[in-house]
Amino acid sequence: MPVCHLEPLNPSEANCRQAYHSVFLDEPNQHLIGNFALLPLRTRTRGPALQLPPLPAGVTELTIDASSESYDPLDEVLQLFRANTFFRNFEIKGPADRVLIYGILYVSELITKIKPNMGRRDAEKAVMNSALDTNFAIPGDAGFPLNQAFEPPKDRNEAEVLRQYVGQMRQELAQRLLNRVYADGSNAPSKWWLSFTKRKFMGKAL
């Protein structure tokens, strides 16, 4: 057996490479509920999120760059999802990272709804069923798995706004995930995306 001859190191010294963080961490004037950021989204779903301009001509969801003014946290979620699901440790550096975490965990959940032999139509039904369901846990609810890292909203009003915002995230993520999983136009889901069903970012699931 190979033996590790390293003296034990404390985490700061070990200087471990970290999973990828949100580029929105330094975004000014973030609207916070608890310690969750309600960042502007590029979506036509109804809700409290500020709207970002639609994709400029010639840019697709696949090619959008973080420097574009239309780039939103959900683009980021889908970009980082495959890389970050390999990590069990994640140090939250700010409210925008919580948006990223929630997004990634929700994509994980959505992917389990798509079965290898589903056509796009059926997958859409399954995925939107989950996305439109308003019966989901938000920070502070007993069923929310990350309550140690997420602060609850202050009152019922805030809770309602947060729920609507998260709802928007879920619907928009579902749409964009379908675009990626069915990107090749063959009406069969990408086996490359479905291979991530068993991986759990931070060892958690929603």
Partner 1 sequence: MAPQTPAVVMDNGTGYTKLGFAGNDSPSFVFPTAIATKSQGGGGGGSGSGRPAVANKPSFLTGGAGPGSHLSGKRGTEDLDFFIGDEALAASAGPGYGLHYPIRHGQIENWDDMERFWSNSIFKYLRVEPEDHYFLLTEPASQYHLNYSAPLNPPENRENTAEIFFESFNCAGLYIAVQAVLALAASWTSSKVQDRSLTGTVIDSGEGVTHVIPVAEGYVIGSSIKSIPIAGRDITYFVQSLLRDRGEPDSSLKTAERIKEEYCYVCPDVVKEFSRFDMEPAERFKQHTVTYPNGKSVTVDVGYERFLAPEIFFNPEIYSSDFLTPLPNIVDMTIQQSPIDVRRGLYKNIVLSGGSTLYRQFGRRLQRDIKHLVDERIAASERRSGGAKSGGLEVQVIEHKRQRHGPWFGGSLLGQTPEFRSYCHTKAEYDEYGPSIVRRFALLGGPGST
**Rule CB under 8 A: which residues touch partner 1?**
2-6, 9, 14-17, 19-20, 62-63, 79-80, 82-83, 86-89, 180, 183-184, 191-192, 194-199
Smallest distance, partner 1 to C-beta of residue 83, A: 5
| Min CB(114)–partner 1 separation in Å | 14
Closer residue to partner 1 (CB): 10 or 29: 10
Please, what is the minimum distance in Å from the beta carbon of residue 62 to partner 1? 5
Residue 35 neighbours by CB under 8 Å, 6+ apart: 95, 98, 150, 151
Residue 147 one-letter amino acid: N
Is the Cβ of residue 187 or residue 195 nearer to partner 1 in the bound state? 195
Whole-number Å distance between alpha carbons of 48 and 165: 6
Q: Which amino acid is at 135?
A: N
CB of 11 to partner 1, least distance (A): 9
- Do 74 and 166 meet the contact criterion of CB atoms below 8 Å apart? no
Of 87 and 144, nearer to partner 1 (C-beta) is 87
| Phi/psi of residue 21, nearest 5 degrees | -100, 170
Indicate the residue among 162 and 173 with the shorter CB distance to partner 1: 173
The angle that helices 95-113 and 120-132 make with each other, rounded to 10 degrees, is 130
Minimum Å distance from CB 197 to partner 1?
8
- For 138, list phi and psi in degrees, rounded to 5: -115, 165
Q: Which is nearer to partner 1, 5 or 156 (CB)?
A: 5
Neighbours of 199 (CB within 10 A): 16
The torsion defined by the Cα of 85, 40, 166 and 163, in degrees rounded to 10, comes to 150
